[in-house]
Structure 1
């Protein structure tokens, strides 16, 4: 299930500067509170901020199912792009996530979140068993919509939707 094209993507315009958006997006522990599936994150190996090569652990849930992944920052371009690669235990590749930030109207910005699935075919049955999600592209599309809605509310100071 190695996609060259994105498996899921979404876009939102926010009334916040690209720099303010980047500060939130590039902070995995903060973003975990806005995400649909991720419930926690922590930097690894002494890292404390986004820079290429920094790693963090993501903690995820779907109902009673819980799992962790290890992520490595691929791009950390303040005000423009933040991306990372996700691996399951034993370094099994899972996906790439990318946030692009472009200037918008009136000092705001437009944030595009994109996901590529990189999981090897042999691992798909295990991924379904672990996560309980058979349609990962569809789930990620829904998760992106939820995350972007919450991110917009956070950046604009409104109460985040449930």
Structure 2
């Protein structure tokens, strides 16, 4: 497995619990991400509490085509950390992680989004054919910057009006 890692951070003027709740509501990720259009949680009923072992399908779209990943939450520590493993056709694709650090006595949050490439040789070959993205690390850095900026803008606006 050839692992590379990309991380991006931003400071958001809302408490870590608010940012954590937004990020772990995986069905809403499409509100911020330019590539992920949302997710479907595998469990029945209303939005379930996020916990390790929870499964969801991530929905993505590139200019070339849509695709999905099967995801399993590996860490869910409210207000601190959210991590999940994404797989495609049963093979490891990436480990995504979000860390939430309190700032300003808990009134603000530093959010760090990290992508760790978990693709083996086969996924390195078929991944660009499916997504149309040949330099996944550079692409993910760019989309993470957009995602975090949109998350900040949305949450700060919603928190101010609350």
For residue 121 of structure 1, what is the aligned residue in structure 2? 121
Asked if structure 1 preserves the Cα contact closer than 8 Å seen for 2:96 and 2:114, the reply is: yes
For residue 137 of structure 2, what is the aligned residue in structure 1? 137
Residue among 7, 10, 16 paired with 1:9: 7
Shift of 1:30: 1.3
Q: How far apart, in 2, do the equivalents of 1:70 and 1:2 lie?
A: 20
Query: Map of 1:17-56 to 2, 5 A cutoff?
Result: 17-46=15-44, 48-56=48-56
TM-score under structure 1 normalisation?
A: 0.90
Q: How far apart, in 1, do the equivalents of 2:125 and 2:153 lie?
A: 36
Asked if structure 2 preserves the Cα contact closer than 8 Å seen for 1:27 and 1:49, the reply is: no
Query: Which consecutive residues of structure 2, in runs of 5 or more, have no partner in the other structure?
Result: none
Q: How far apart, in 2, do the equivalents of 1:121 and 1:45 lie?
A: 32
Segments of 4+ in structure 1 off by > 4 A?
Answer: none
TM-score under structure 2 normalisation?
A: 0.90
Aligned residues: 155
For residue 92 of structure 2, what is the aligned residue in structure 1? 93
Q: What SS class does the counterpart of residue 129 from structure 2 fall into?
A: helix
Query: Which consecutive residues of structure 1, in runs of 5 or more, have no partner in the other structure?
Result: none
Shift of 1:33: 1.7
Deviations 1:9-28 (A, max 9, x none): 10000110000011001110
Tell whether 2:71 aligns with 1:76. no
Q: How far apart, in 1, do the equivalents of 2:111 and 2:96 lie?
A: 13
Q: How far apart, in 1, do the equivalents of 2:77 and 2:25 lie?
A: 13
Deviations 1:25-69 (A, max 9, x none): 111011222112101211014372311000000110101411011
Q: What SS class does the counterpart of residue 67 from structure 2 fall into?
A: strand
Deviations 1:84-106 (A, max 9, x none): 000002x1100000000001125
